[in-house]
Amino acid sequence: MNVFDYDKDSDGIVTVTMDMTGPVNAMNDEYRVAMDATLEKLEQEQGLTGVILASAKKVFFAGGDLNDLLAAAPGAEATFMAEGERVKAGLRRLEKLPVPVVAAINGAALGGGFEICLSCNYRVAVNDPAVQLGLPEVSLGLLPGGGGVVRMVNLLGLEKALPYLLEGTRVDAAHALAAGLVHEVVETRDQLLPAAKAWILAQQGVSEAALQPWDRKGFRLPGGNASSPHIAQLITVAPALLRKKTRGLLPAPEVILDCAVEAARLDLDTALRIESRGLTWLAMTPQAKNMISTFFFAMNRINRGGSRPADVPSRSVEKVGILGAGMMGQGIAYVSALAGIKVVLKDMSVEAAARGKAYSEQLLAKRVQRGKMTEEKKQQILELILPTDSNDDLAGCDLIVEAVFENLALKQSITRETEPQLAADGIWGSNTSTLPISELATASAAPEKFIGIHFFSPVDKMPLVEIICGDKTSEETLARAYDYARQIRKTPIVVNDSLGFFTSRTFGTYLDEGVRMLREGLHPVQIEAMGRAVGMPVGPLAVYDEVSLELTRKAQETWREMGVLDKFSDSTVTREVINTMVEQHGRGGRYHGGGFYEYAEDGSKHIWPGLMDLYYNADVTVSEGDMRDRLLFRQVIEALRCLETGVLRTVDDGNIGSIMGIGAPVWTGGLIQFVNTYGVERFVRRCEALAATYGERFAPPAIAREKLAAGELFE
């Protein structure tokens, strides 16, 4: 089978339609063979007037084969680079054909797909939401190695190219046209080929029509080359700004910046070779392995239903009841209405419920202001939300989500009161971050229809939902909760019941270790710095202030009443510090006026001076390497224990959940994936060393020793 269909019309225009054997067109061995053969034929073609590259797939071209990139191993750099250079040589041959070449873009062209487009003289795209253009390789720890860095710099200039390269910015057809990434936009797919042919025919007799801008005599880089004053200044400050953002933990952005700067200094072909070296080096790094494994393969498995019961038919939620119009409830109402679901938002009073609806109105108004939504659409969405204080309005809901305070008795009381309003086949979801679902479900008349649906704050921004199955939760209920999460455009992970589940339980170890260090006498500023240095969004003490020390203290009272305090919080040190801060000094956290930090009216904050008097001891020293590992390894060990005890059902759920739910360092690819590239044996030995110095909480979990003995990775 010829995967590149070759068709020459009476005008001498050849249309090459890419239709590879897989579900998408990708830069693999099949592509390399097909492209080489097609180029050879085009170079020998008589009477050729132009070439159109088109796609028979819904996606124009998906990019590089990530299986090949994941398999690349140190020692094979020469082979890897040679294959990359072969691909680039083909694209260089394409843009040096003596006739105009057009990319007819019918769908997404990301990464290698867009690099093919950049190698064409003219790019025409259809105005369709499915068309997404860009170079997102940085999000996988890589760089655009098919000429993307070099051609983007030559096309847009260094300054305008950098956001696309360093941030992986994706744009639709209209924005691509405005930015100069495509030359023409048509309204329907049927217009693509006629538009491409019309442009080619209009170029007959135009001497430079077949030349790329950078191959034309006298070409000047847009915005100036590396020696121009403005660009020289940009090159001077960019590395420091980038380092501040990546903290030195992500090599891809730094290598991309280096290659982009070289593209602004050197001739095209030399810059292309430097780009190839950059990709070769990055492909061998553990950061790239981690990010490819999790952000592509694991994410695709989960979003395709990897954690969903396969034999349960899919079903959408039509009417959802949300109990509690506070911070969480109002966010759940917003994302549900945005997905077209009828929402009943109930609180103790209509006024309180209306304030919850007002949150959606504020967010939608911002969309209208930014031109991303019409006023008419905004009103249609708002009409889906009914604020109420009446249980009767909940009648017929196929899902009710309870989102009140973390109080067992309160949640159970609300369940008994409002569960009868569910539709006959409706299900109940409790938005809780710590309370066991099986215990909450004892108040339900149908515990098989009871499930945990843990949202993260702010709901409108956080992409994850943690679905928790109780002892009696049915597979059908799980499937319906999973479908609801996908319906509201969230990524769901599925875990089994326990106090704190996976995310809260694991994240709690980060906070606990930070407080332990504080109690040992380490400087609080250094503790916070080490948290950021390992890749966490903020330090553990700052997080504790946001979570609220007062709320933690109250939660501990609830756990004590349930008789499970020691199971969830085995740190008497942390309890002591929290109680001291709240009860003796009135430091309940940011919401309560201040905790570990003091907060100024201008939004700035600094460590509360009293903290130094209470805990800092200048005679205590711990190496920064140990501090970083303590903050990271505590979380990794807890994640492994969740996997070991069956709280986590899959490694994918653990990795995606830790990244998207608790802000685990991106470079790790998730707390469990981190062990794979760190090395299982090395991990076990490091845990043993930490345990010998700092305590048994660092002892390597049995599952790690088992993987080591079997010579296996966590997959």
Show which residues are catalytic: 115, 137
Please give the C-alpha separations between residue 82 and each of 88, 107, 191, 211, 256, in angstroms, as whole numbers: 10, 29, 38, 26, 20
Report the distance separating Cα 361 and Cα 572, nearest Å: 44
Are 307 and 650 in contact by the 8 Å Cβ rule? The answer is: yes
Angle at the Cα of 345 (from 403 to 318), degrees rounded to 5? 100
Provide the edge-to-edge strand list for the sheet that holds 170-171. Answer: 109-110, 133-134, 170-171
Q: What is the DSSP string of 532-601?
A: HHTT-SS-HHHHHHHH-HHHHHHHHHHHHHHT-HHHH---HHHHHHHHIIIIIT---BGGGTBSSEEE-T
H or E stretch covering 343? strand 342-346
Q: Which residues pair with 124 in a beta bridge?
A: 104, 184
Report the distance separating Cα 132 and Cα 114, nearest Å: 9
Per-residue burial over 152-190, b if 16 or more Cβ lie within 10 Å, else e, is bbbbbbbbebbebbbebbbbbbeebbebebbbbbbeeee
φ, ψ (nearest 5 deg) of residue 337: -65, -40
CB count in 10 Å sphere of residue 620: 12
Report the distance separating Cα 644 and Cα 704, nearest Å: 9
Residues 6+ apart with CB under 8 A from 365: 378
Report the distance separating Cα 395 and Cα 418, nearest Å: 9
Residue of 219, 199, 208 lying closest to 155 (CA atoms): 219
Phi-psi domain of 316 (left: phi exceeds 0; alpha: psi -120 through 50; beta: other) = beta
What is the C-alpha R_g of the chain?
A: 28
Q: Which residues pair with 395 in a beta bridge?
A: none
Report the distance separating Cα 240 and Cα 613, nearest Å: 35
Please give the C-alpha separations between residue 404 and each of 277, 329, 346, 384, 459, in angstroms, as whole numbers: 54, 8, 11, 21, 15
Are 686 and 703 in contact by the 8 Å Cβ rule? The answer is: no
